[in-house]
Amino acid sequence: MVNTRFVRKEDWKAVMSLYNAWRTEDGSSAVRDSILSLKQAKKRIVQILKSKNGFGLVAEQKGKIVGFIEANQGGFVKTHHSMFVNDIIIFKEHRRKGFGQALINRIIKITKQKKLKLIYLFVASNNKPAIKFYLTCGFKKTGRIIKGYKFGNKYVDKNIMCKLL
């Protein structure tokens, strides 16, 4: 059974493993940032927990964290009606089992409860699995920022995907 819950301070190690596994994945189109250190991972969780508009969720299987998502409600009056999904990562061995969908569904539920109007996100145009996943979750491709990402020396377009509620 898929369980989702809000991230807790003690989840920093699992969240760090998720980011680092993704960043070193073969053929990954992930932003090749440096590997998250223990200190950075702890700091990130604390930032999320302290944030007024942001929150993180984890997906669990049998009490073990298998996925993470972070989202932020727009912080300005002009963006307050929107929810931005920052990152979603599922451990490779747990993909295609519905964990990603469960996390997005929870974000949709929270966004509806807050009576917001839309959820949007950015995804690298070469991240085909993620784009297919978001399309399945009801997002639409609404725009493209040419050369919006730089991975090493390579520029990749940034797709904007949006779900109106």
Ligand X SMILES: CC(C)(COP(=O)(O)OP(=O)(O)OC[C@H]1O[C@@H](n2cnc3c(N)ncnc32)[C@H](O)[C@@H]1OP(=O)(O)O)[C@@H](O)C(=O)NCCC(=O)NCCS
Q: How far is the CB of 91 from ligand X (least distance, A)?
A: 8
Q: Judging by DSSP bridges, how do beta strands 54-61 and 140-151 pair with one another? A: unpaired
Give CA–CA dist 27/151, Å, rounded.
12
Instruction: Choose one: 6-14, 49-57, 122-130, 150-158; the region binding ligand X (CB under 6 A).
Output: 122-130
Q: Does 138 bind ligand X (CB under 6 A)?
A: no
Among 51, 53, 101, 125, binds ligand X (CB under 6 A): 101
DSSP of 101-132: HHHHHHHHHHHHHTT--EEEEEEETT-HHHHH
Q: Decide if 15 contacts 59 (C-beta within 8 A).
A: no
Q: How far is the CB of 137 from ligand X (least distance, A)?
A: 7
Using CB under 6 A, pick the residue from 12, 133, 139, 149 that binds ligand X. Answer: 133
Which residues bind to ligand X, rule: CB under 6 A? 22, 88-90, 95-101, 123, 127, 129-130, 132-133, 136
